[in-house]
Structure 1
């Protein structure tokens, strides 16, 4: 693993005890406000010195409480993108971006700088002052500044929290490009599951200062044990599929291990791998293959597990070959259908219920 975190710290009335590893790609730290997400990232950056534990980045020890070692912030080789961007208002966009080069090891080649500016679409903004930028533009400048410091890891603390839905949709493709183009591991803090499922490879779920779940996004979010931390309304799973074709009626056919999934047109070429978030509330279960339904997405599945919540609902984990999804149904329905682990059923997925924002590209390793 590239980053290893094992820290302990006590505040007045709140304790942090977090342990996890992060590898290549995007590792999301997810949880409600006040769960300790930013505290963990600040410890990695060196803005907080924990009372106990150890942090290593690649082959370097950044912090070791027992040895009394804590590498200064400027020497940690981390890029940090804050929620409020923290750009210098008296500088132009160009000067803000190039400020990051002060912390880079060696000289940044001009072609690398140009590649970052082009990738983030900042060329037309270079001479403007930061006060004239939109929220999305501001965050893109902050990203460029962090990248030009040539960090060993990029820390992003709720970078889209201050943006409205439209601005988030504007900047998410840039974050996907950053994830796919640069070989820099990213620690991404968010309480928005839609961002996590679109960007992250792994997820660390935190609650009240503790790591509750940790693993690949596809595995963690399809686990009914995640429901108490994710919330019933946000419960769902992530499928990875391949674009097969775009049909004449405006639907796109996606290939899964056990069949095909039809969704409204996706702007991706055939052969492209995509990630689709399927909400548990948009999955129905049938004991036999249904007839006379408007839904075209009917897939064979096997019940893996059932999780009874506090209310009348039950989360059912279904296996579509090696893919896992969740269905949220009533306990009464589960009892009447006699659902149990190992039972073969049919999963019915509502194609039109999947918004475009829940479909994204897959990172190429």
Structure 2
């Protein structure tokens, strides 16, 4: 089976046996913390490892990198890196690792930092691959600059390029935006989205930021006290009522959509997803452009009758109630809705839920006050 680091780039043919997936089963005990996970993750796309500080996100990443030695098994797209008889040390694992801090060599230029990383790979086209990474991350104009003269966002882009240059079979990123201010985060996020679109290898992304999860992830693993309490596709996992990923005020779903219509007079665009469509602000979209929608539960209301045209809410969707869960406070309920093939969440008061007499299986109308394109 052929794999590709970049979708329009270098090809090679490694020996694969089990199919495209990361299988990670680890057990690691410390005095005050234990990691105990059994995961099967996609062999391509971005998997976010999400949870509060101390939940085990970085420990799991270090186990995959071989920086910790847990009991268990690890295979990456069919290649076994660890089992009962085998443990590949870090230097023999074909991976790239990007830390919170870029950890660049201050005595070398950007070019020197990038070419230094090539010493650990025997990949015959490594120079071509490095050139692709430089173009992908738009750092060509920085090559002769000292790393001490880079901004935080530029440093991280160089660190990512260095990690890609070794032809990794998996890219590990440990909260790469945590040390950056908001301006630098906005600077580097588009490049992370480009990685999401261009890389054919899996990217495991540690974060405690729900915004980064919504913007980048395809698959979501929620960790708590060293255990994976949920693992699955982003949309379905965010919609689970038994696993509140965020406080009620921030509960939301993320839907993949496509721009199918524009209203130039009112600067609006219609985004279609699996089950319906909503009007959003037109951010100079192109027709057919793929986007991600974030719909907050607090921006969804319910009614049993089709709302009047005079209602100020543009977006009204036919839905079926799937489940009703408790919020963080007794006064709040979170309702899981099904809109076509897509889930939706609604946050309402317990009193409203009782007045509407809602129950699972009931057909209702969901009114969406606001749907945001994730930028």
TM range (shorter): over 0.9
The answer for unaligned runs of 5 or more in structure 2 is: 1-19
Of the three residues 317, 331, 346, the one matched with 2:336 is: 317
- 1:296 maps to 2:314: yes
**1:29-40 alignment to 2 at 5 Å?**
29-40=49-60
- 1:179 maps to 2:199: no
Of the three residues 27, 38, 47, the one matched with 1:27 is: 47
CA–CA distance in structure 2, aligned partners of residues 258 and 71 of structure 1:
46
| Residue range with higher mean Cα deviation, 159-168 or 182-191 | 159-168
The answer for unaligned runs of 5 or more in structure 1 is: 360-365
Of the three residues 34, 49, 52, the one matched with 1:15 is: 34
CA–CA distance in structure 2, aligned partners of residues 259 and 53 of structure 1:
44
- 1:86 maps to 2:106: no
TM-score normalized by the length of structure 1: 0.93
Q: CA deviation at 1:310?
A: 4.4
Find the residue that maps to 2:248 and give its secondary structure. coil
| Residue range with higher mean Cα deviation, 303-312 or 138-147 | 303-312
Given that residues 126 and 166 in structure 2 are in contact (C-alpha distance below 8 angstroms), is that contact kept between their aligned partners in structure 1? no
Given that residues 105 and 150 in structure 1 are in contact (C-alpha distance below 8 angstroms), is that contact kept between their aligned partners in structure 2? no
Of the three residues 244, 248, 263, the one matched with 2:260 is: 244
Q: 2:280 — aligned with what? A: 263
Q: 1:305 — aligned with what? A: 323
CA–CA distance in structure 2, aligned partners of residues 49 and 154 of structure 1:
19
Q: CA deviation at 1:112?
A: 2.9
CA–CA distance in structure 2, aligned partners of residues 11 and 196 of structure 1:
28
Given that residues 269 and 282 in structure 2 are in contact (C-alpha distance below 8 angstroms), is that contact kept between their aligned partners in structure 1? yes
Q: CA deviation at 1:309?
A: 3.1
TM-score normalized by the length of structure 2: 0.90
Q: 1:224 — aligned with what? A: 241
Q: CA deviation at 1:90?
A: 1.0
Q: CA deviation at 1:230?
A: 2.7
| Residue range with higher mean Cα deviation, 147-156 or 196-205 | 196-205
Find the residue that maps to 1:49 and give its secondary structure. coil
Change (3 A) 1:348 1:105: farther
CA–CA distance in structure 2, aligned partners of residues 105 and 232 of structure 1:
50
Aligned residues: 352
Change (3 A) 1:156 1:219: same
CA–CA distance in structure 2, aligned partners of residues 247 and 27 of structure 1:
35
Shift >4 Å, 4+ stretches: none
What per-residue deviation string (whole Å, max 9, x for no partner) do you get for residues 271-329 of structure 1? 12211111111111111122232221111111111111341211100111001011111
CA–CA distance in structure 2, aligned partners of residues 186 and 96 of structure 1:
22
Find the residue that maps to 2:352 and give its secondary structure. helix
CA–CA distance in structure 2, aligned partners of residues 216 and 79 of structure 1:
24
Q: CA deviation at 1:259?
A: 3.3
Find the residue that maps to 1:8 and give its secondary structure. strand
- 1:211 maps to 2:231: no
**1:156-175 alignment to 2 at 5 Å?**
156-175=173-192
Given that residues 129 and 167 in structure 2 are in contact (C-alpha distance below 8 angstroms), is that contact kept between their aligned partners in structure 1? no
Q: CA deviation at 1:176?
A: 1.1
Q: CA deviation at 1:87?
A: 1.0
Given that residues 324 and 359 in structure 2 are in contact (C-alpha distance below 8 angstroms), is that contact kept between their aligned partners in structure 1? yes
Change (3 A) 1:89 1:56: same
CA–CA distance in structure 2, aligned partners of residues 114 and 267 of structure 1:
31
